[in-house]
Amino acid sequence: MYAVAVTILFQDGKLGELKDFFENSGFPALEKLKGDMYSIAFFNPKDNVNLGIAFMKDKETAEKFAEIRNENLLQIKDILTSFPRVYEGELITGKTLQDSVVDNPLDSLFLAFAILDVKNVDEYMDVQKEIYLPKLEQDEGIISYGAFKSAENTLVLFEFWTSHDAKHSFDEKLNADENIYEKFMPLMEGFKDYYGEPYAIRQFTDFKAGNSIN
């Protein structure tokens, strides 16, 4: 599976216009990719920040998606204040923990998303797979997770939760005895993190619990 994440800045008070655009024009434009495009969602994690994350079959689909995305951005350029920052890559790990079907979408969804500058991607992922993911997969609130390498030392991590409370509860349980997150700090040069619920989402395929998505 291939993932693409895009961040842009938009003008004050224009979130409603963004939502209307994606629902009425942006999503319909992606129908031509149906079958190779799996899902896409947009978030407003911080003031005037728009984060989009999409999942698809492969890089070839991502190139077609980029053409549609650029056409969409031209239509709303008057309400944007920055050029898009694009992060993309093949998933190197990921799993669906709860069913998510097109005809019966999830009632709630919360995204935890991070862009990491790491010293070594493989070393970071080895630690994550050893001490973090086993605990993550045992939690009832996690829907799905994944990671992809966007550049030589850039790693993108994402987690979809049933709610903000579920994510918060997991972090509290995870650090009850020791701060596991501190074990990752020596492996990083810096990071940006984003959290939030989607304001626009479209799912084109079903995701079944237990399936690996990398």
Q: Kindly report, residue by residue over 133-173, the tens digit of the pLDDT.
A: 999 999 999 999 999 999 999 999 999 999 999 999 999 98
Assess contact for 84 and 7: CB atoms under 8 A. yes
Write out pLDDT tens, residues 26-46. Answer: 999 999 998 999 999 999 999
Name the region of 64 (left: φ>0; alpha: ψ -120 to 50; beta: rest).
alpha
What one-character-per-residue DSSP string does 168-184 give?
Answer: HHHHHHHTSSS-GGGGG
What's the CATH architecture for 2-200? 2-Layer Sandwich (3.30)
pLDDT tens, residue by residue, 171-211: 998 888 778 888 898 999 999 999 999 999 999 988 888 77
3-class DSSP assignment, residue 119: coil
- pTM beyond 0.75, yes or no: yes
Q: What is the number of helices (H) and of strands (E) in the chain?
A: 6, 9
Task: Return the domain boundaries, the chain.
Answer: 2-200
User: Residue 178's pLDDT is what?
Assistant: 79
**pLDDT (tens digit per residue) in 86-140:** 999 999 999 999 988 888 777 679 999 999 999 999 999 999 999 999 999 999 9
Q: What is the CA radius of gyration of the chain?
A: 17
Percent of the chain topping pLDDT 70: 99
